[in-house]
Chains A and B, each alone.
Chain A
Amino acid sequence: MTNSIWGKDHSIAQAYWRTGYADFPIYDLHGHVGAHYAIYMKRCEPDTMACHLRRAGVKHLVFSHHEALFGNMRNEQVYQLCRSQPDLLRMYVAINPHYPERIREDLAKFDAWAPFAVGFKFLADYHNERVDSKAYEPVLKFANERKLPILNHTWGGSCCSNSTILLAVAQKYPGAKFFMGHSFFGDWDGAVKVVRETPGNVWLELTAIPGESGIIERLVQGVGSTRLLFGTDLPWFDEFQAIGGVLSAKIDEEDMRNIFYRNAEQIFGENW
């Protein structure tokens, strides 16, 4: 252990090993709240999630509610939920392309949901509607005008949110900030291409990647650590598992700091 990454004096890894946190805040930019049909989640409500987040030194979790994505919960209710953990929770307004009237209503309320609502969440594969379809246009235009983030669920080979589709969309809406959830998992060349061929409005979000051998290194090499964002899908995945995965990558501590918090602060500021 002495010669391991955990034993290196004054390192980030050593701090996490000893105490569970480091000398900086973490921003988890890919989370959820609420039960999910496919798996059992013991800690999926704000109070129980907050304990886990605070232990890991997470300052903000930006989430979309499972029930708003898969059920009929409205984003107004999600906004009310945020107020139970006002210092910790921020929300992506969940967009379901099959309910245009709900989208209109939510866009009209967006400003009233400050400071909690910070962007939008697209789950195109699950809703089986391509991100470049008409259904998403009102949100894309809104985000483009206001320079707001959109967290997209992306995956290599997906039908509705693959790298080809998202490249074209990100080029078409250069004002919007595109967070590519899961970094087009598996399509690493496509992920790099999307960042390189867009005008600085794309970031690759790391949920499901930390811990995988060699992937973070590959993305850092391809696009630079300033284009990567930390996320966990909490309550799907453990914060410490993901943090440990970043600490395990063969990248330097400046890269790690970029991933854990600096890039988020570049986008949202230090107090948001």
Chain B
Amino acid sequence: MKDLFFFDSHCRIGSNCMGHSPVPDIPTLFEEMDRFGVDRALIRHIGIDKGALWTNREVSAFLREDPAHRLTGVWCILPSQCDELPEPDVFFALMKEARVGAITLSPFGHNYIPCRLTLGRILDAATERKIPVLLDAFAGKWQELYHFLEEFPRLRCIYLEGSGRWGTDRYLRPLLENYPEFHFSTGGYWVPEGICDLAERYGANRILFGSGLPRFLPGSGMLQLKQSGLDPQSLAMIAGKNLSRLLEEAQL
């Protein structure tokens, strides 16, 4: 029955100031992953918008509870000028040590402008090292995302939908067309057979399976992908191989 390797690119864990989330800890996360047959997950903290530093620490702690290395972590960055995080080289070395493979940002929660002035130093380094940058903070903020990508056109990035649902092709397709390193995670993208359409037009290598856990259950997106009409090779890439490749290519 094990016919596909799934690596979830859109998965949040932990609790925040609003109370317990449905996936507050590692045992609960593994239970959900096993219930649906999700092999691996790229995890970020559910409370990122309420703080980068403490959520980075908690992600590291979560990863220490995963001896089988099913999980890879995401850390949140901040503007370079305030000295809250170490210089990029040191920061990336710490990421590697903690098994953190990607970074994210939360400019609208953390009160700064996401641009070259604030993030140029670390994101230029991330670009050179091909470190994936999750753009979950830009979910639904298309004008801001378009400006951001104009500033960092070569950034290896993954756009994640928020609550999603409504088809976003009019926003999404110009980005896929113009930025070769722009990737798209499927969580919340419910367009009928839309994943297949995007893969045929822009390449299956640009699309990553994402569940949207804990808000969304993995099973809905998994079945949507499995029955999307994609050829087996493209299906396997989107289900898990693309994310594995992106993380392997990152030079931490």
Contact B220 A1 (CB under 8 A): no
A50 vs B216: C-alpha distance in the bound complex, in angstroms? 27
- What count of chain B residues pass the 8 Å CB interface test? 38
Tell yes or no: A85 within 8 A of B by CB: no
Q: Which A residues have a C-beta under 8 Å from some C-beta of B?
A: 1-7, 13-14, 16-17, 20, 38-43, 49, 52, 55-56, 208, 210-214, 234-245, 247-249
| B190 close to chain A: CB less than 8 A | yes
- The answer to whether the Cβ of B221 comes within 8 Å of any Cβ in the partner chain is yes
Residues of chain B within 8 A of A49, CB atoms compared:
192
| CB of B223 within 8 Å of the partner chain | yes
Bound-state CA distance A258–B4 (Å) is: 30
Q: Is B193 an interface residue (CB 8 A)?
A: yes
Task: Report the separation of the CA atoms of residues A236 and B35 in the bound assembly, to the nearest whole angstrom.
Answer: 28
What residues on A are CB-neighbors of B168 within 8 Å? 39
**CB closest chain-B residue, reference A8:** B1
The distance from the CB of B21 to the nearest CB of chain A, in whole angstroms, is 10
Interface residues of chain B, those whose CB is within 8 Å of chain A, are: 1-4, 22, 34-37, 165-170, 190-194, 197, 212-224, 226-229
Q: A5-B36, A40-B169 are known contacts. Are A234 and B192 too (CB-CB below 8 A)?
A: yes
Closest 3 CB pairs of A and B: A244-B223, A248-B219, A4-B37
In the complex, the answer to whether B216 meets A3 with C-beta atoms within 8 Å is no
- The distance in angstroms between the C-alpha atoms of A221 and B183, with both chains bound, is 39
Listed A/B pairs (22) with beta-carbon separation below 8 Å: A1-B2, A1-B3, A3-B37, A7-B1, A13-B219, A39-B167, A39-B168, A40-B170, A42-B191, A55-B227, A211-B217, A211-B219, A212-B216, A237-B192, A240-B223, A240-B224, A240-B226, A241-B220, A241-B221, A243-B223, A247-B219, A248-B220
Q: A7-B1, A213-B216 are in contact. Are A238 and B197 (CB under 8 A)?
A: no
Report yes or no: A213 in contact with B192, Cβ–Cβ below 8 A.
Answer: no
Q: In the complex, A214 Cα to B22 Cα: how many Å?
A: 9
Interface centre among B168, B226, B227, B228 (most CB of A within 10 A): B227
CA distance A43 to B193 in the complex (A): 9
Q: Which of chain B's residues have a CB closer than 8 A to the CB of A237?
A: 165, 190-192
Enumerate chain A residues within 8 angstroms of B193, measured Cβ to Cβ: 42-43, 52, 238
Per the bound structure, the CA–CA distance linking A14 and B219 in Å amounts to 12
Name the A residues within 8 Å of B36 (CB-CB): 4-6, 248
For A2, the closest partner residue in chain B by CB is: B1
In the bound complex, CA of A42 to CA of B197 (Å):
9
Q: Which residue of A lies closest to B3 (CB)?
A: A1
User: Which residues on the B side are within 8 Å of A234 (C-beta)?
Assistant: 192
Q: Please give, as numbers and ranges, the residues of chain B lying within 8 Å of A42 by CB-CB distance.
A: 191, 193-194, 197
Cβ–Cβ contact B223 & A17, under 8 A: yes
CB pair A6 B1 closer than 8 Å? yes
- Which residues from chain B contact A241 at a C-beta distance below 8 Å? 190, 220-221, 223-224
- A5 with B165: CB separation less than 8 A: no
Instruction: Find out whether the CB atom of B37 lies under 8 angstroms from the CB atom of A6.
Output: yes
A42 and B169 CA atoms in complex are apart in Å by: 10
- A40-B167, A42-B197 known; A244 and B224 CB under 8 Å? yes
Q: Which residues of B contact A208 (CB under 8 A)?
A: 165
Cβ-defined contact, B217 with A4, below 8 A = no
Q: How far is the CB of B87 from chain A (nearest CB, A)?
A: 40
Please report the C-alpha to C-alpha distance between residue A56 and residue B34 in the assembled complex, in whole angstroms.
25
Nearest CB on B from A6, distance (A): 6
Cβ–Cβ contact A240 & B1, under 8 A:
no
A4 contact from B35, B167, B192, Cβ within 8 A: B35
| CB nearest neighbor in A for B4 | A1
Residue of B168, B221, B224 with most partner-chain A CB within 10 A: B224
